[in-house]
């Protein structure tokens, strides 16, 4: 049975597709590409159908990642129910995803902050301390910060998923 991971940001054109690309690469390197499916969505539908932001594409390519065809889409309650792990880029996204879970504790427990898997991220304090920076409003340097935050958490996510799969 395939383990399903979804990354979620605002419009699904910067952070969540960057995280999707990085995670796919890491799962492949870990030999889990056939066992894990990764996709991404956004809380908002405002970017529906749009490709990955060109600046995000550039930073991904500069780090050696293949950039797939992508069309932004909005997350649905069904998406949240069908995923084994839902990774929110910010506390605001996590809150919206928990609303979609409609109080179902089993589903709510699958919603995690993406950076909660970064060994150097804060372990105490408000959830927003784990937010992945939104690069969209800034310059190219913001995309470098975002990719660094995504890469810092990626190995922890792979280790978590491997542990879950080993218990199945």
**Diameter over CA atoms, the chain:** 44
Backbone angles phi, psi at 95, to 5 degrees: -60, -45
Tokens of 30: 């870990």
Give 36's strand partners: 3
DSSP string of 21-70, one letter each residue: HHHHHHHHHTT-TTTEEEEEEES-STTTT----HHHHHHHHHTT------
Question: Do 158 and 150 contact (CB within 8 A), yes or no?
Answer: no
Structure tokens at 154: 């990626």
Of 9, 14, 39, 79, catalytic = 9
Catalytic annotation, pick one of 15, 26, 110, 115: 15
The single residue of 98, 134, 155, 162 carrying the catalytic annotation is 134
Residue 134 annotated among the catalytic residues of the structure: yes
Active site residue 110: no
Please, are residues 6 and 83 in contact by the beta-carbon 8 Å criterion? yes
* Residues catalogued as catalytic: 9, 15, 134
């Amino acid at each position: 049975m395939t383990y399903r991971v979804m990354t979620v940001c605002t419009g699904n054109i910067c952070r969540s597709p960057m995280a999707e690309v990085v995670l796919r690469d890491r799962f492949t390197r870990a030999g889990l590409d056939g066992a894990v499916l990764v996709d991404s969505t956004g809380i908002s539908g405002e970017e529906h159908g749009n490709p990955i932001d060109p600046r995000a594409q550039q930073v991904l390519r500069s780090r050696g990642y293949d950039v797939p065809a992508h069309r932004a889409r909005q997350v649905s309650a069904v998406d949240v129910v069908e995923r084994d792990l839902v990774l929110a880029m910010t506390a605001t996204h996590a809150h919206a995803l928990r609303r979609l879970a409609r109080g179902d504790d089993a589903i709510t427990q699958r919603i995690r902050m993406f950076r909660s898997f970064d060994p150097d991220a804060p372990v105490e304090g408000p959830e927003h301390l784990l937010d992945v920076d939104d690069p969209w409003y800034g310059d190219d340097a913001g995309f470098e910060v975002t990719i660094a935050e995504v890469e810092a958490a990626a190995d922890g996510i792979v280790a978590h998923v491997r542990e879950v799969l080993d218990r199945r």
